[in-house]
């Protein structure tokens, strides 16, 4: 029996227009009404996750920033796994050496040196998950990241690295040039304290090696008295692998890469075909 359902957001819970469909919402509410714990597991910050869920009228716990932070449905921090400051600085240096744009995710929100790039990085994630979508439509929606204060501009990341009140959760790199991006990834993997994954064709997600969705999910369900074997996880991208490998029932979206599908027990419909709802109703 499934007692917990964990869902990725981009390319999974969200459709091509970055919204939760009515079908997905109703399935989540039905699961919750039957006592099933529903948790969102995303590479996004809590602020960005909450913005989308509030718009949809969904209230549930969240595994944020790929597992670097876990929050209750009321927004209280249950756990946090930041990157040590000296390691974060080394990673930032490697990205800058390769001329790769990156954002810094912290306990106080997401920061960028270039607001236009902040839009571009989300467009990459959405278009990677939804190749048929018009990028111009995505740009309009992605602009909400800055319009609603979900991404803050700073003159230098040193202001974050040198501020004791800021915990560094993730460096989110973006580069269209595959050669530079892959070279940076190889160097970042030399820092054994880090985990390096991806949620789009052109990005790099850099977190503490213990800040992974699967690790966070396992810790979360244990705190609820639920065994990981009683959990269903749904995802479409490489930053979902750690939870898909651990969950008792692993569900790949119809729009997921072949490699992701090959890891899973079930393949559901696409994110535009309300795959999350279908997977939930099947186990209910």
Catalytic residues: 8
Sign of CA dihedral 116, 171, 198, 43: negative
* Separation in Å, CA 261 to CA 203, 215, 224, 234: 21, 20, 28, 11
Task: Find tokens 């595994």 and name the residue.
Answer: 63
User: Cα–Cα distance between 53 and 43 in angstroms, integer?
Assistant: 15
Spell out a b/e string for 48-63, using b for 16 or more CB atoms within 10 Å of the CB, else e.
Answer: bbbbbbeebebebbbb
């Amino acid at each position: 029996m499934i007692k917990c359902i964990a869902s990725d957001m981009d390319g999974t819970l969200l459709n091509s227009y970055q919204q939760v469909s009515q079908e997905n919402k109703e399935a989540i509410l039905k699961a919750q009404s039957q006592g099933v714990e529903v948790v969102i597991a995303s590479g996004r910050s809590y602020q960005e996750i909450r913005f989308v869920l509030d718009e949809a009228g969904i209230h549930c716990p969240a595994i944020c920033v790929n597992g670097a932070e876990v929050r209750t449905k009321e927004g209280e921090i249950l756990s946090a796994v930041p990157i040590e400051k000296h390691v974060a600085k080394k990673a930032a240096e490697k990205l800058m050496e390769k001329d790769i744009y990156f954002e810094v995710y912290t306990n106080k929100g997401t920061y960028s040196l270039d607001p236009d790039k902040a839009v571009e990085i989300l467009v990459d994630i959405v278009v990677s998950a939804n190749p048929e979508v018009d990028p111009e439509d995505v740009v309009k929606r992605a602009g909400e990241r800055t319009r609603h204060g979900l991404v803050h501009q700073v003159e230098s990341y040193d202001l974050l690295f040198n501020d004791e009140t800021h915990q560094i959760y993730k460096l989110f790199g973006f580069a269209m040039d595959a050669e530079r991006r892959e070279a940076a990834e190889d160097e970042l993997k030399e820092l054994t304290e880090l985990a390096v994954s991806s949620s789009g064709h052109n990005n790099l997600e850099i977190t503490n090696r213990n800040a992974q969705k699967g690790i966070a999910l396992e810790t979360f369900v244990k705190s609820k008295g639920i065994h990981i074997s009683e959990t269903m996880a749904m995802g479409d991208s490489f930053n979902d692998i750690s939870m898909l490998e651990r969950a008792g029932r692993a569900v790949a979206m119809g729009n997921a890469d072949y490699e992701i599908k090959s890891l899973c027990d079930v393949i559901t419909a696409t994110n535009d075909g309300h795959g999350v709802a279908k997977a939930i109703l099947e186990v209910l």
